[in-house]
């Protein structure tokens, strides 16, 4: 018997250190105005020197568990989406498991770069479906500040650090994850990469000196990929799930670039939905961007029971992951910050001041 699985708790962690556009612009050879115009990003967070991806992930996981009222030893699976692991080996998820005391959880990493969280959530959902009970922690966490060439204006201006998590568990019939669509275009895998450090090009003094351990991206080609892919993937998911676009209440995309999202938004046909953005103050946090945004929206009580949500991740590989879910009732965490979304519009508002 297949049991409905849904989100029963959310959490996020954003490092304390905020880095302004002015600081990034000086090293990248551009201006604050240029960054804002090209990306709609004004600042981002950078991890402290002592913080690694596992530390951020553990903090987000603890927040999700606390919100759901579930203890770490009740978790059956811990799936971490990241492309900036603590080490090449072991899986960073195993470190997170140890940090939070999830001693009964099978823990592993998923690397689909910025689409990784949706891929990880789909895997965890499948693992839980055949159990009568049980919980899965799905975490997206990245520390991109450690792999950026600060003089590369195509990448240095975009990325920040952070982690977001959801706890998946049993929900009422008709609620939870309804449908997921995962696609990969491996013929375009070279658009986003860290060239050295793996078995193809092992680390050496030469690879370090030539900057091959930095994150690289063909920004123009990535933008074309997103423009060509997102509308098709969203349309296909909704068609397969027999859901009309006007029934979607909330759209949470990967927070890649605000200007790019504003261009693609009209092509998606989600005219009744709110497109939630957190990138103005947090930038592109890789696999963490969707769960961070979802947590901030949830903690502002903007998600009502039985609302239809669409999550959409896209990134290196090149991959796209879309998930449709019906929101289940969860335990809410209160916050005093003010956030008033612009319903039915692109860019509901920046989620400023929530962390």
Q: Which is nearest to 350 in space by CA: 292, 276, 248? A: 276
Catalytic residue among 21, 46, 114, 312: 114
Q: Which two tokens stand for residue 136?
A: 């899965």
Catalytic residue among 21, 125, 257, 284: 284
Report the sign of the C-alpha dihedral through residues 6, 232, 164, 333, in that order.
negative
Q: Which is nearest to 268 in space by CA: 240, 241, 230? A: 230
For 173, counting Cβ atoms within 10 Å of its Cβ (0-12 exposed, 13-18 middle, 19+ buried), the class is: exposed
The set of residues, in sequence order, having a beta carbon less than 8 Å from that of 100 and lying 6+ positions away, is: 58, 61, 62, 65, 72
Q: Which is nearest to 215 in space by CA: 279, 141, 151? A: 151
Residue that the structure tokens 């092992």 belong to: 202
Is 312 a catalytic site residue?
no
Q: Which two tokens stand for residue 222?
A: 């990535």
Q: Estimate the crossing angle of helix 53-68 against helix 92-100, to 10 degrees.
A: 50
**To the nearest 10°, the Cα dihedral for 30, 230, 8, 332?**
50
Structural contact between residues 216 and 194, judged by C-beta atoms closer than 8 angstroms: yes
Q: What are the E-state strand segments in 161-222?
A: 161-170, 176-184, 192-193, 216-217
Is 21 a catalytic site residue?
no
Strands 319-326 and 176-184: antiparallel
Catalytic residue among 46, 125, 250, 254: 254
DSSP letters for 312-345: EEEETTTEEEEEEEEPPP-------------TTS
How far are the Cα atoms of 6, 40, 80 from residue 113, in angstroms, in the given order?
Answer: 23, 22, 11
The C-alpha atoms of residue 62 and residue 284 are separated, in whole angstroms, by 22
The C-alpha atoms of residue 169 and residue 77 are separated, in whole angstroms, by 11
Is 104 a catalytic site residue?
no
Catalytic residues: 114, 254, 284
């Amino acid at each position: 018997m297949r049991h409905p699985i849904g989100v029963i708790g959310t959490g996020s962690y954003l490092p304390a250190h905020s880095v302004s556009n002015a600081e990034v612009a000086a090293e990248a050879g551009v201006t604050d105005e240029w960054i804002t115009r090209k990306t709609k990003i004004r600042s981002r967070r950078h991890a402290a020197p002592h913080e690694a991806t596992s530390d951020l992930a553990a903090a987000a996981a603890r927040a999700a568990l606390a919100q759901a009222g579930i203890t770490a030893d009740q978790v059956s699976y811990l799936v971490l989406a990241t492309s900036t692991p603590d080490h090449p080996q072991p899986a960073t998820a195993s470190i997170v498991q140890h940090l939070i005391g999830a001693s009964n959880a099978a823990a592993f990493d998923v690397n689909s770069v910025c689409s990784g969280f949706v891929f990880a959530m789909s895997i965890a959902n499948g693992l839980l479906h055949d159990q009568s009970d049980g919980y899965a922690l799905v975490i997206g966490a990245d520390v991109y500040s450690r792999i950026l060439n600060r003089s590369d204006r195509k990448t240095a201006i975009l990325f920040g650090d952070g982690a977001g998590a959801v706890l998946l568990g049993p929900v009422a019939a008709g609620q939870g994850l309804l449908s997921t669509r995962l696609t990969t275009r491996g013929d375009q895998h070279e658009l986003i990469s860290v060239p050295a450090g793996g078995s193809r090009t092992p680390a050496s003094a030469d690879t370090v000196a030539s900057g091959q351990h930095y994150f690289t991206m063909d920004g123009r080609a990535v933008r074309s990929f997103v423009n060509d892919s997102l509308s098709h993937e969203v349309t296909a998911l909704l068609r397969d799930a027999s859901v009309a676009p006007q029934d979607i209440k909330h759209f949470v995309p990967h927070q890649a670039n605000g200007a790019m999202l504003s261009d693609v938004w009209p092509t998606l046909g989600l005219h009744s939905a709110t497109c939630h953005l957190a990138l103005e103050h947090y930038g592109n946090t890789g696999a963490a961007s969707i769960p961070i945004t979802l947590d901030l929206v949830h903690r502002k009580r903007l998600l009502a029971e039985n609302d239809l949500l669409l999550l959409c991740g896209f990134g290196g590989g090149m991959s796209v992951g879309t998930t449709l879910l019906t929101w289940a009732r969860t335990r809410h965490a209160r916050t005093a910050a003010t956030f008033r979304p612009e319903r039915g519009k692109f860019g509901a508002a920046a989620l400023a001041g929530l962390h």
